[in-house]
């Protein structure tokens, strides 16, 4: 069967489906497999075929995270694991650490182990087509679902409403009288960061046009750690009263923690409003509590899992783009009014 897959340039799973008469294979791939079988004179082992059909743990899925230490990613993985367990599926997982080379190495390693499907957090900016390595696997019939970030080309993707959440946060601060609002963002090329910044800027532009009062204080991106955020907040708060922001929108949970630490260190936690994107475990512990726009990690992981396993079961419908809604949770920091 391995030789058939190589000759037909398809995945091992695709050959297995054709041989076993299972759904989920396009006519084009089926014809390639059938031609390869005829050319090689391959004779299926019907005993092994029946054994494969009745083995509960017959599927293996490769999962590639950007950073599993991120609480959101960890929660997404946990939700996906629950779906996989219900299907008797084995999971292989790895972390790309936002490195394109590492990302491709993991894809190659997983496909080399004949995984039946892939769940991937894309690395880098969205592109209009997949990498050569990933494109080959997709053409070979390996189902791929992307999570958290839009890959940029037509594909199955499940992610949060990044832009809508940023719009919620920014409008919330405007509604409390703030016009000088600073935006703190992480890696500039990451799709989720780009979308959150776009949501922030769209609302600020609208406020400026409608009220002629909104004045974006600063947009700072490419911050990598809580310490980066803390340092930036210290610098912003060192500006003259007329220039420094009265509110902060932090677009990533680690950056929010750094911003909170800086405000507490300077004794400004009750003076500067703050809204953070993503859930934070300590949001209810500090004073004031941290107003956040949490992502529904469980929903993202569960929906991604259901979509991937529907593909593995033979669903050949067109690409699905699912956006999971977000809401704003008030805890105090985002409700601090602007100075009069």
The answer to whether residue 53 scores a pLDDT higher than 60 is no
* Strand order through the sheet with 60-65: 90-95, 60-65, 117-120, 144-147, 156-160, 321-324
The answer to whether residue 28 scores a pLDDT higher than 80 is no
Say which residue the tokens 């293996």 belong to: 60
Q: Which residue has the higher pLDDT, 300 or 21?
A: 300
* Per-residue tokens: 44: 């299926």
CB 252 within 8 A of CB 183: no
Say which residue the tokens 């009263």 belong to: 241
Report residue 55's pLDDT band, with 50, 70 and 90 as the boundaries. very low
> DSSP letter string over 34-49?
HHHHHHHT----HHHH
* Main-chain phi, psi angles of 120, to 5 degrees: -130, 135
For 313-325, what is the mean pLDDT?
Answer: 91
Report residue 298's pLDDT band, with 50, 70 and 90 as the boundaries. very high
Report residue 79's pLDDT band, with 50, 70 and 90 as the boundaries. very high
Tell me how far apart the alpha carbons of residues 15 and 32 are, in angstroms, rounded to a whole number. 10
Supply the pLDDT for residue 46. 47
pLDDT in tens, 111-161: 888 898 999 999 877 776 677 888 888 887 889 999 999 888 889 999 999
Say which residue the tokens 């600063």 belong to: 218
**Cβ partners under 8 Å of residue 48, min gap 6:** none
Supply the pLDDT for residue 216. 60
Tell me how far apart the alpha carbons of residues 48 and 141 are, in angstroms, rounded to a whole number. 22
* Per-residue tokens: 27: 């006519």
Please provide the average confidence, as pLDDT, over all residues in the chain.
Answer: 86
* Main-chain phi, psi angles of 158, to 5 degrees: -125, 125
> DSSP letter string over 251-269?
SSHHHHHHHHHHHHHTT-T
Supply the pLDDT for residue 2. 62
For 57-75, what is the mean pLDDT?
Answer: 87
The answer to whether residue 313 scores a pLDDT higher than 70 is yes
Q: Which domains, ranges and CATH numbers included, belong to the chain?
A: 1-55 (1.10.260.40), 162-296+328-335 (3.40.50.2300)
Helix ranges, the chain (H): 2-8, 12-20, 27-40, 46-54, 71-86, 100-112, 132-139, 162-175, 191-211, 226-237, 253-265, 297-312
The answer to whether residue 19 scores a pLDDT higher than 70 is no
Supply the pLDDT for residue 111. 86
Supply the pLDDT for residue 49. 43
Tell me how far apart the alpha carbons of residues 32 and 335 are, in angstroms, rounded to a whole number. 62
């Amino acid at each position: 069967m391995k030789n058939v897959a190589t000759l037909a340039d398809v995945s091992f799973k695709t050959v297995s489906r054709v041989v076993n008469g299972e759904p989920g294979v396009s006519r084009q791939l089926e014809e390639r497999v059938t031609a390869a079988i005829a050319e090689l004179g391959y004779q299926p082992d019907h005993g092994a075929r029946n054994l494969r059909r009745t083995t509960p743990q017959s599927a293996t899925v490769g999962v590639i995270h950007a950073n599993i230490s991120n609480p959101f990613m960890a929660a997404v993985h946990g939700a996906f694991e629950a779906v996989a367990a219900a299907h008797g599926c084995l999971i292989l997982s790895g972390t790309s650490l936002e490195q394109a080379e590492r990302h491709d190495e993991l894809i190659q390693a997983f496909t080399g182990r004949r995984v039946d499907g892939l769940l991937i957090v894309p690395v880098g900016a969205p592109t209009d087509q997949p990498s050569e390595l990933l494109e080959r696997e997709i053409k070979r019939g390996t189902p791929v679902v992307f999570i958290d970030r839009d890959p940029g080309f037509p594909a199955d993707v499940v992610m949060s409403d990044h832009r809508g959440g940023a719009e919620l946060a920014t409008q919330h601060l405007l509604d409390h009288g703030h016009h000088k609002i600073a935006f703190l963002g992480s890696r500039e090329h990451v799709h989720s960061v780009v979308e959150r910044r776009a949501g922030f800027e769209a609302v600020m532009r609208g406020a400026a046009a409608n009220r002629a009062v909104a004045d974006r204080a600063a947009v700072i991106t490419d911050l990598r750690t809580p310490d980066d955020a803390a340092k930036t907040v210290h610098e912003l708060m060192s500006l003259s009263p007329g220039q420094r922001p009265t509110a902060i929108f932090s677009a990533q949970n680690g950056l929010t923690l750094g911003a909170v630490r800086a405000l507490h260190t300077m004794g400004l936690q009750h003076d500067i409003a703050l809204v953070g994107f993503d859930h934070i475990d300590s949001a209810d512990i500090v004073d004031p509590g941290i107003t956040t726009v949490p992502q529904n990690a469980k929903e993202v992981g569960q929906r991604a899992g259901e979509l991937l396993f529907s593909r593995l079961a033979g669903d050949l419908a067109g690409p699905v783009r699912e956006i999971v809604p977000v809401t704003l949770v008030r805890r105090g920091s985002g409700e601090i009014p602007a100075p009069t």
